[in-house]
Amino acid sequence: MPTDLVLAEPHDGVLIITINRSAQKNAVNHEVAVQLAAAVDRLDADPHLSVGVLTGAGGTFCAGMDLKAFAAGEVPTLPGRGFGGLTRATVRKPLIAAVEGWALGGGFELALACDLIVAAEDAKFGFPEVTRGLVASEGGLIRLPQRVPYHVALRVLLTGEPLPAAEAGRFGLVTTLTASGAALDEARELATRVARNAPLALAAVKRIVRAAEGLDDEDAFAAQDPLVAGLIASDDAHEGARAFKDKRAPVWHGR
């Protein structure tokens, strides 16, 4: 069985995760899902890693589900983790998508499962599922209307037509637009800036923001406050204060 369908390469606290099936436009089969899940688990488990960057080889982010593999009986989802082992997974650390070329169907859903999206200006996102009698059920129907205006989301979901990265950027879906071919470099630079910060605080930001979605203020504060209390009592919070006082860079320990 292939062992290199997903590459995971650490660089200064950042794990670069690459779907490595360029000949298949990085379409996801079962083994890709297994290896992508393992890479994300490595990101969360390794105390020396703070941020992940997800990208695709060969100038395409991900064309979605491998239809040939699906026709042969393969399922590109994992129990409790969703498409590609990611769309329904709980990932504690920040994850940035670096998108070149197409992010279609499940590929777009992988990008939406990330916390930030960096995209080349000529990249395209899309949900063509309705043209095949299907719907974007691994996050597309749920997440896209939360990230862009309702009528924009419904246009994409109902027509199956692509959403250019430049337009996605105007609506805030894309964090940063880059020149063609520069998305990964920009995502790595962004990840490095994020990775300088306290790992416990990064995890708390992500957990609190996601937990508060859809809640009123009272319930959102109730979900937030126990996590903040633990953070305030952490060694890293005290280290941050000491480093500020001493005018030096903090040394985080993740505890």
Catalytic positions are: 109, 129
How far apart are the C-alpha atoms of 135 and 83, rounded to whole Å? 13
How far apart CA 190 and CA 210 sit, in angstroms, is 21
The dihedrals phi and psi of 81, each to the nearest 5 degrees, come to: -120, -15
Kindly give the interhelix angle for 140-147 and 150-159, rounded to the nearest 10 degrees: 140
How far, in Å, CA of 200 to CA of 238, rounded? 12
- Residues β-bridged to residue 117: 97
C-alpha pair distances (Å), 77 with each of 31, 44, 63, 110: 10, 20, 15, 12
Burial of 216 (0-12, 13-18, 19+ CB in 10 A): exposed
**Distance of CA 60 to CAs 71, 100, 120, 142, 160, Å?**
23, 5, 11, 24, 19
Q: CB–CB of 236/254 below 8 Å?
A: yes
